[in-house]
Structure 1
Amino acid sequence: MKWRTYPEDVLPLWVAEMDVPLAEPVVEAVSAALAIGDTGYPVGPVYAEAVDAFARRRWDWRVPAERTAIVPDVMLGIVEVLRLVTGPGDAVVVNPPVYPPFYWFVTHADRRIVPAPLGEDHRLDPAALEAAFREATADGRPAVYLLCSPHNPTGTVHTAEELTTVATLARAHGVRVVADEIHAPLVLPGARHVPYLSLPGGSDAFSLVSASKAWNLAGLKAALAVAGPEAAADLARMPEEVGHGPSHLGILAHAAALRDGVPWLDAVLGGLDDNRALLADLLAQHLPEVAYRQPEGTYLAWLDCRRLGLGDDPAEVLLARGRVALSSGVPFGVGGEGHVRLNLATSPEVITEAVRRMAAAVAAA
């Protein structure tokens, strides 16, 4: 998708996919399965056990297998959790600007979006959250807060203090939290991911985790839904057929990544750390009007291009005149106008060329 969506002369830095060779343990696990014809249906706790081992080492967080369920991927897992704790027409609170599929999947599931915009500093706004929670529960119906942690597209890594405030507000208003933590392994130096379910107030919440983003395994489908202790009975009601969706090879690949691919991940994080600083230097030199806060996590850069005078959708102009494909900020919702999202997970040479093309496009505008 990344390289075939646009013509060959376009430099693609849009979809969340990394330009890296696969971790060798992943290649070995999938190759071994293929060599013996192991391409059947998945079964067993191998994914949950791998997540638990990784989470213990990385975040001192335990993931009991009995409080997990295999799901096809994170977004489909979110939809299935929404079906467990809400009904048609119930509210789902999100923090725009936020990952566009949040809107698509939630509305397709016949739930309604209630926005609680991030602050200008790209951080959670407790006042906006409380107002959204009040609106979401005003009719006495169930409501969910869909938390993006770390946040896509801003790269914000929420602190323990911020998440504790979330838990307090959610409890006070009877809102259930569903945390999308797909980017959790991709926290860069200087920040630390706090699993939402590790908080004292997160016991009635859910988390969706996957190795797909951190180890570049989007084409090998699998994810894990995790319930807090008070949510275990809800997760136990998830229909058996949901677990038929993940790929067996995906589960093997993800488990190998989580179990044996940590040195590879740490090397990638080092490269991403270098790339976020490189982008800051290049923008300061060639496009100083672009506002850019270096991400604390993910491999995504959220660029404020409003001072360039390119309208609400700068990505359209940069594609047409610079032949560089970035994600338009508009589909990310409130606060996305005049912004673009750039994928940092590529070579320094590609990032350099992308900024050169962007600057040339602005000069020609």
Structure 2
Amino acid sequence: MSTAPLDALPLDALRQRSSTKWAKYPADVLPLFVAETDFPLAPAITRALSAAVERGDTGYTPPRTRLPEAFAAFAQRRFGWQVDPARVRTTCDVMMGVAELLRAVTEPGDRVIVTPPVYPPFFAVNEESHTEVVRVPLRADARGWALDLDGIDAAFAAGAKAMLLCNPHNPTGTVHDRETLAELARIAHRHGTWIISDEIHAPLTLPGATFTPFLAAAPEAAEVGFALTSASKAFNLAGLKCAFAVTAADGPARIVASIPDEVEWRTSLFGVFAGVAAFDEGDAWLDALIARLDLNRFLLRDLLAEHVPGARYLPGDAGYLAWVDLSALGWGDNPAGKILREARVALNPGPDFGAEGRGHARINVGTGPEILTEAVTRIGALAR
């Protein structure tokens, strides 16, 4: 029996929100940029947060919560992944975890591999940790994108100490297959280097794809890897500030344990409440969201074909972020700038994701079909 797709909130209700997506631009702009979604919260999360407010439970996060056990059960159900709750440690958000792990496994000046086009904070976090970015772009063909394993091997051989893996990949929506991840683990193990895997989009893996946690891809992955994730992308909880690191072997676990306690103190108690509710009781809501995103990725494909025929878009396998090539339209390196000025639609500029993003834009399809249709129609008017 198929799951009914989740309905987004109406536009007038969304404009009452005060988060970045709805507050950054004037009311005549349709925001399809930052990774927030336009759906009501999962009922279990609303209940958990409301109950906490009623009892005044707004203090510091304790050192032990139910979040590790809740995530371990969720990971087993959704991914077939056996997580040891004792090897789950919380922090404020995924990129804070990435920054602290980079500090723990590198020295200032060390080189760190990134795979553009990729989530812009992957570049910025290296500035924060005083490490040097080594770019090994994704390989692209008619079927999509893939890691350049030969290029990664060469970069490690040339002295890179770590790699930031986006799994699933943002912005392309690529779900890296098990054998690719297993070979990546073997390469890192051979060079004595580290893989830090951002897996925040994993719960949003779409029909037809299978998510493989990096730490479960091969025996070597456990020895060289760290996974960072959160309920925040799937359940729209970014403002509640709760993420966590997962390890699967003693060596990486000792490194995570060595991170200062202050990093763990920054976890929000409300984020813990929401994460536990999401992992314990959010499956049905998540399935409905996935059903909506599955429809929306193909709706975007059809809308672009109708209204912006010069655009090139291959629907991704995970998440609600669409990577669209608009270079054929002649709108310059950053078509999102023209689209914002002239169509009043806010997208993420492609060049923010690396030089490979010139002529591209990232479109957030985590909304209702009416808003998505209106946005692409506006963009299409510029192409006429």
TM-score range, shorter-chain basis?
over 0.9
1:15-39: CA deviation from partner (whole Å, max 9, x where unpaired): 0000000000001111111111111
Q: Secondary structure at the match of 1:40?
A: coil
**Residue 194 (structure 1) aligned with residue 212 (structure 2):** yes
Indicate the residue corresponding to 1:70 in structure 2. 90
What is the correspondence of 1:322-337 to structure 2 with a 5 Å cutoff? 322-337=343-358
Correspondence for 1:123 among 143, 146, 155: 146
Q: Secondary structure at the match of 2:235?
A: coil
CA distance in 1, matches of 2:349, 2:23: 18
1:311-342: CA deviation from partner (whole Å, max 9, x where unpaired): 10000111111111100000100310000000
Correspondence for 2:243 among 215, 223, 238: 223
Give TM-score scaled by structure 2 length: 0.91
Displacement of 1:175: 1.7
CA contact 1:45–1:65 (8 Å) conserved in 2 = no
Indicate the residue corresponding to 2:39 in structure 1. 20
Indicate the residue corresponding to 2:379 in structure 1. 358
1:271-309: CA deviation from partner (whole Å, max 9, x where unpaired): 000001111111111112111000100101000011011
CA distance in 1, matches of 2:293, 2:360: 21
Indicate the residue corresponding to 1:38 in structure 2. 57
CA distance in 1, matches of 2:256, 2:148: 29
Q: Secondary structure at the match of 1:320?
A: helix
Indicate the residue corresponding to 2:6 in structure 1. none
Q: Secondary structure at the match of 1:213?
A: helix
Displacement of 1:134: 2.4
Indicate the residue corresponding to 2:290 in structure 1. 269
Correspondence for 1:164 among 172, 182, 193: 182
Correspondence for 1:340 among 356, 361, 382: 361
Unaligned runs of 5+ in 2: 1-19
CA contact 1:318–1:362 (8 Å) conserved in 2 = no
Q: Secondary structure at the match of 2:162?
A: strand
CA contact 2:342–2:382 (8 Å) conserved in 1 = yes
CA distance in 2, matches of 1:135, 1:219: 39
Q: Percent identity?
A: 48
Displacement of 1:125: 1.4
CA contact 2:84–2:248 (8 Å) conserved in 1 = no
CA distance in 2, matches of 1:154, 1:136: 28
CA distance in 2, matches of 1:254, 1:22: 12
1:144-187: CA deviation from partner (whole Å, max 9, x where unpaired): 11100000000000000110111111112222001000001010
CA distance in 1, matches of 2:45, 2:275: 7
CA distance in 1, matches of 2:51, 2:158: 52
Unaligned runs of 5+ in 1: 138-142
CA distance in 2, matches of 1:288, 1:161: 35
Displacement of 1:74: 0.3
1:122-159: CA deviation from partner (whole Å, max 9, x where unpaired): 2111122122222344xxxxx11110000000000000
Give TM-score scaled by structure 1 length: 0.96
CA contact 1:221–1:247 (8 Å) conserved in 2 = yes
**Residue 248 (structure 1) aligned with residue 266 (structure 2):** no
Amino acid at match of 2:287: D
CA distance in 1, matches of 2:326, 2:151: 25
1:199-224: CA deviation from partner (whole Å, max 9, x where unpaired): 22211210001000000001111011
Indicate the residue corresponding to 1:111 in structure 2. 131
CA distance in 1, matches of 2:25, 2:125: 25
Displacement of 1:362: 2.4
Runs of 4+ in 1 over 3 A off after TM superposition: none
